[in-house]
Amino acid sequence: MKYPYGLKSNPYPSSPTPTESDAKILGGTKHQEAKNSIVECISELYKQTARRNSDENDFRLITVVQDVGSGKTHLALHIKTLKTRQDIVTAYVDLSTISPKTNESIYSAIIRGFSREMFSELRQKFIMQICERAQKGDSLAKKALGYGFLDRLKGITIKQKAEDILYDKNVISQEILRSYLAAHYSQHEAAVIFGVISNSFEKATNLDDLHGRLAALCKFFHNLLGKVTLFELDELDAQEGSLEFVKSLINAHIPASVLLLITTPSLYLDIQRANPSVFDRLEKANYKIDLAGANSVDELIEIAIEYIKEADKTERFNKKEQQDLAAKIRVLCDEFPEFRNVRSIINILNHAIEQGSELEASEITETVIDETIKHTYPGLKIKGSIMEVPISEFIKIKRTAGATQSQVKQAIANLVNYAHEIGNVSKSAKQNPSFDVVYSDPFGTKIGIAVVMNDNHTKNFEAISNVVKSSAFVDKLIIITNTNIPQSNLATIVNVDKSKVIDLLYFNTKYTERKLDEPESEKAKILAKTISVI
Amino acid sequence: MNSQILDKVESSGVCGIKKAELKKLFGADCENSLSQLAQEDKIIVDNKGVAHYVWSKDNYITHISQNDPKFKILSKLVHNLEAKISQIPKSDGISDFKFHFDRTISEISSSLGWVPLAEVRAKVCQNLDITQEKFYSEVLSLVEQNQSKYEISTGGQEGIHVRGMLHGYIRRL
């Protein structure tokens, strides 16, 4: 199956929320800046703690507050999946999936939030530590590894016994392990090491257990693996359980760790009302990541292009194609607020790539977008359009409409021609240069139309003032303009907005190509009425 | 007596009425009433030829505009100025609304800049004496026209609907 731009697969994720795999690609300047801030915070902490044991001053708090669908979760998962940086170990927890939110349930979710590889590395370190102790003659360590008299007689080494456990060829005795750990470690450290080696973490029933174990875990990650721990708590809400947990975690100052809290502006302000004490702590975060402009059109374009660039192995997706796609996305976002956030634009582009593949299109064309919207967003129409301009035509017109005044003049002249052809008006054989078109209505009233559509409104005022001086040449003067001026006794002012301009240009194309069919001719009459032509 | 004198003066029109004639009609005591009315700017006493005449204020302005060349010129200039002023587009509601809207957001803004639209609405509607419907219709067009200047966010009890979701929070960028 072939996809547009020569892609072998659809680069845009299809799930409504990102997965770790989707989050490997991170586009957009704002999102990149946010990522850099987080990475900078972690790196600083890493450098600070690199050559010493970490303490309670080695704790950082980061908040990310932005609206739904703006890419916060994507950012958090991207940080978690960063392969280039080896100094972070991340636990990602989606608090919205935890109910009820108790210390016990959140602790379990944090443990599940770490990657298995990290625990495997830690497990190896712990078992090798037991091995070293056993080699030095620690009898409890030998017992824990199951090393006995017979093994010595058989010539089996302590290291071999440790490796058997490491590669799951042998099982460690839980009872002896507990005794060994109790003799060498604190209660919380012992609980963590036991959980890691046996891959079975006990429940943390009180705050003391919870903080003690998390601190022990961070200490081991730091001392044994040389990593700073990042706790990512997504979908932070104002529920009592969530806030109590967060407050205690901030107060605990877990060494060599960073707490990253992700929430929405609405929930952030809910927290302010529900628990001012927690809110105050969040306000004093070391880093407050502001994803302002995360849903701006420029950012959305950058994100959209990044996906294709990452997937494009043949480098077929060149600058020209990027600019072309950017222009189409810009028109889409300008017209439809529905697409103005990261989640929405990724979603429509995922569908567009699939649609493009079905239509065997070499790129995301206007027709592809049109078909995609018809299938995926059937209720979506161009707002205020009388001609019911298809979205594909709308995008084409918007992208090609340059010198609007001359195009509108031509469209108005053709609208009068059309009204003349269907017998609604009589176009004057002798035109007056002061007006763009002169015609008579069925009662013989001589009407002149002037189109004044510059971007410079001061120029428009001058042009309107000049054309009004010629109003005596006609019985009725109609001024079609984009400038907001009050009605006058001397002329009928018709203000045209962008949707009406698109209608006129669409009509003009259809009329000049002689493709005005029955339903569109009726709409053209309505258009002529709204412009006061008939 | 004052009101009778004033009626008589006004009914005399642009030509005015001789002071002497008023004294004939209302007696010599009317002098005090005339002084009082003149002090209140209700009548004007001025010379026309050799006689003292009395006009109502509006009639006097018309009289001098017609007969005094200087006032004639000035009057024309003022009329032209009035016509030009009337052609100037009135300060539109949007900019007035935007001013109050922006100021209210700044006043109640938190550290991140997000504010509930309900709070902004309460203040702006009170200041501008507009309805809730009018407020949200203005907000919608303001946000739509200034996408790079405002950011909206979902949630809250009231706000504007975008992408089928209620957006009850806003901030200025």
Question: Could you report the per-residue pLDDT of A339-389, keeping only the tens digit for each?
Answer: 888 989 999 999 999 999 999 999 999 899 989 988 888 878 787 788 888
Inter-chain CB proximity B112 and A485 less than 8 Å:
no
Q: Hey, which CATH number is domain B93-172, 2.60.40, 3.40.50, 1.10.150, 1.10.10?
A: 1.10.10
- As a whole number of angstroms, the distance between CA A438 and CA A413 comes to 9
Residue for token pair 């950011």: B151
Average pLDDT over residues A131-151: 92
B172 → chain A, closest CA residue: A292
- A137 contacts chain B (CB < 8 A): no
Average pLDDT, chain B: 86
- Say if CB A364 and CB A355 are below 8 A apart: no
B163 → chain A, closest CA residue: A338
Inter-chain CB proximity A65 and B111 less than 8 Å:
no
Strands of A430-486 (E only): list them: 437-440, 446-452, 476-481
pLDDT band at B11 (very low <50, low <70, confident <90, very high): confident
Residues 286-305 of A with CB under 8 A from B: 288, 290, 292-293, 295-297
- Say if CB A497 and CB A477 are below 8 A apart: no
- Say if CB A344 and CB A69 are below 8 A apart: yes
Decide whether B2-86 matches B93-172 in CATH topology: yes
B92 → chain A, closest CA residue: A484
Average pLDDT over residues A110-126: 92
Report residue A91: phi and psi, to 5°: -115, 115
pLDDT band at B155 (very low <50, low <70, confident <90, very high): very high
- pLDDT for res A85: 60
- Asked if the model's pLDDT at residue A222 lies above 70, the reply is yes
- Say if CB A491 and CB A506 are below 8 A apart: no
- Asked if the model's pLDDT at residue A446 lies above 60, the reply is yes
Q: What type of residue sits at position A264?
A: T
Q: Which CATH architecture has domain B2-86?
A: Orthogonal Bundle (1.10)
Nearest to B153 among A266, A290, A338 (CB): A266
- Say if CB A389 and CB A506 are below 8 A apart: yes
Question: What DSSP designation does A39 have?
Answer: H
Average pLDDT over residues A236-259: 93
Cα of B46 to nearest chain A Cα, Å: 41
Residue for token pair 């298995």: A116
- Asked if the model's pLDDT at residue A84 lies above 60, the reply is no
Average pLDDT, chain A: 89
Nearest to A266 among B113, B154, B163 (CB): B154
What domains does chain A contain, in order, with CATH numbers? 28-111+207-290 (3.40.50.300), 119-198 (no CATH), 295-380 (no CATH), 404-530 (3.40.1350)
Task: Give B156's contacts in chain A (Cβ within 8 Å).
Answer: 266
Closest CA to A130 of A156, A153, A155, A164: A164
What pairs with residue A92 in β-bridges? A232
- pLDDT for res A479: 93
Q: What type of residue sits at position A297?
A: V
Residue for token pair 């799951």: A168
pLDDT tens per residue, range A176-219? 999 999 999 999 999 999 999 998 888 888 889 999 999 999 99
- As a whole number of angstroms, the distance between CA A202 and CA A180 comes to 17
The C-alpha angle A288, A292, A294, rounded to 5 degrees, equals 115
pLDDT band at B74 (very low <50, low <70, confident <90, very high): confident
Residue for token pair 């809110």: A279
- As a whole number of angstroms, the distance between CA A508 and CA A387 comes to 11
- Tell which wins on pLDDT, A56 or A494: A494
- pLDDT for res A257: 94
Residue for token pair 């429940």: A203
Nearest to B89 among A295, A296, A486 (CB): A486
Question: What DSSP designation does A203 have?
Answer: P
Report residue A70: phi and psi, to 5°: -95, 0
- pLDDT for res B138: 93
Question: What DSSP designation does B169 have?
Answer: E
The H or E element that residue A258 is part of is strand A257-263
Structure tokens at A226: 């040389």
Average pLDDT over residues A488-517: 87
Nearest to B153 among A265, A338, A484 (CB): A265
In this structure, the strands spanning A426-427 and A446-452 are: unpaired
Range in A65-69, A324-328, B39-43 the model is least confident about: B39-43
CA torsion sign for B67, B68, B74, B78 is negative
In this structure, the strands spanning A287-290 and A59-65 are: parallel
The H or E element that residue A427 is part of is strand A426-427
Report residue A468: phi and psi, to 5°: -65, -30
Nearest to B154 among A67, A272, A338 (CB): A67
ipTM metric = 0.75
pLDDT tens per residue, range A5-41? 999 999 999 888 888 888 888 999 999 999 999 999 9
Nearest to A269 among B114, B154, B165 (CB): B114
- pLDDT for res B87: 59
- Residues 6 or more apart whose CB falls under 8 angstroms from that of B166 comprise B154, B155, B156, B158, B159, B160
Task: Give B114's contacts in chain A (Cβ within 8 Å).
Answer: 65, 265, 268-269
The H or E element that residue A188 is part of is helix A187-198
In this structure, the strands spanning B150-153 and B160-162 are: unpaired
SS3 call for A452: strand
- As a whole number of angstroms, the distance between CA A119 and CA A196 comes to 6
Question: What DSSP designation does A296 have?
Answer: S
A25-39, A43-57, B23-37, range with greatest mean pLDDT: A25-39
Task: Give A67's contacts in chain B (Cβ within 8 Å).
Answer: 151-154, 169
- As a whole number of angstroms, the distance between CA A441 and CA A427 comes to 9
- Say if CB B68 and CB B47 are below 8 A apart: no
Listed in sequence order, the DSSP H helices in A340-435 are 342-358, 366-376, 391-400, 404-421
- pLDDT for res A294: 87
Distances (CA, A) of B132 to A59, B102, B135, B157: 46, 17, 5, 13
Domain borders along chain B are 2-86, 93-172
- Residues 6 or more apart whose CB falls under 8 angstroms from that of B2 comprise B33, B36, B37
Residue A77 exposed, middle or buried by CB count within 10 Å (0-12, 13-18, 19+): buried
- Say if CB A344 and CB A352 are below 8 A apart: no
Range in A87-101, A421-435, B90-104 the model is least confident about: B90-104
Structure tokens at A178: 């507990």
- A400 contacts chain B (CB < 8 A): no
- Asked if the model's pLDDT at residue A526 lies above 80, the reply is yes
Q: Considering only CB atoms, which residues of chain B are within 8 Å of chain A? A: 87, 89, 92, 110-114, 116, 144, 147-148, 151-156, 162-165, 168-169, 171, 173
Interface test with A, best of B86, B115, B147 (most A CBs within 10 A): B147
Report residue A62: phi and psi, to 5°: -125, 135
- Residues 6 or more apart whose CB falls under 8 angstroms from that of A342 comprise A28, A69, A70, A71, A74, A294, A295, A299, A300, A303
- Say if CB B59 and CB B14 are below 8 A apart: yes
